[in-house]
């Protein structure tokens, strides 16, 4: 599974309005519910927030990659979100997060999401990638960053 295999223009929020970690997670889950990928918003939210108690997924450099495995998820998906203001996501470097990738995978699936997580992390280490994502004005531009 590649990043571009699970990126979908219907699962992108180019202007996140939320101001807190919990609000961002809720906002990122909404497109998954709308598209029928997540069956229960509250249950999946709890899954993500439980994962956050283990260690923050705010990896630094302005990036957060919340993720969760749940029987509420029907197929592996990634929601891309971007905040112009930045959000205190309790990132490892103490800086605000601007770029979000919420990874949702079904409970019974193998660890394919870890491969995607690894690919994302490697790609996002490059300042050029982060800059292109911040400058993207359309969903198609976001997808092109990963081509």
Which positions are annotated as active-site residues? 67
Residue spans of alpha helices (H) in the chain: 3-6, 21-34, 41-54, 112-124, 127-135, 139-145
- Backbone φ and ψ for 80, nearest 5 degrees, come out as -100, 135
Q: Tell me how far apart the alpha carbons of residues 145 and 130 are, in angstroms, rounded to a whole number.
A: 9
CB 41 within 8 A of CB 30: yes
For helices 127-135 and 112-124, angle between their N-to-C axes, nearest 10 degrees: 90
Which helix (H) or strand (E) segment holds residue 87: the answer is: strand 77-87
User: Hey, what are 27's tokens?
Assistant: 């906002």
């Amino acid at each position: 599974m590649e990043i571009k295999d699970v990126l979908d223009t219907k699962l992108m929020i180019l202007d996140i309005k939320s101001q807190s970690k919990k609000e961002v997670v809720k906002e990122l889950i909404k497109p998954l519910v709308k598209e029928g990928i997540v069956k229960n918003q509250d249950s999946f939210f709890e899954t993500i927030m439980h994962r956050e108690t283990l260690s923050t997924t705010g990896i630094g450099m302005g990036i957060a990659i919340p993720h969760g495995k749940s029987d509420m998820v029907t197929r592996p998906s990634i929601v891309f979100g971007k905040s112009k203001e930045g959000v205190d996501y309790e990132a490892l470097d103490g800086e605000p997060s601007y770029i979000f990738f919420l990874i949702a995978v079904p409970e019974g699936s193998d660890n394919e999401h870890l491969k995607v997580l690894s690919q994302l992390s490697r790609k996002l280490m490059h300042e050029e990638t982060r800059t292109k994502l911040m400058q993207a004005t359309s969903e198609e531009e976001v997808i092109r960053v990963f081509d």
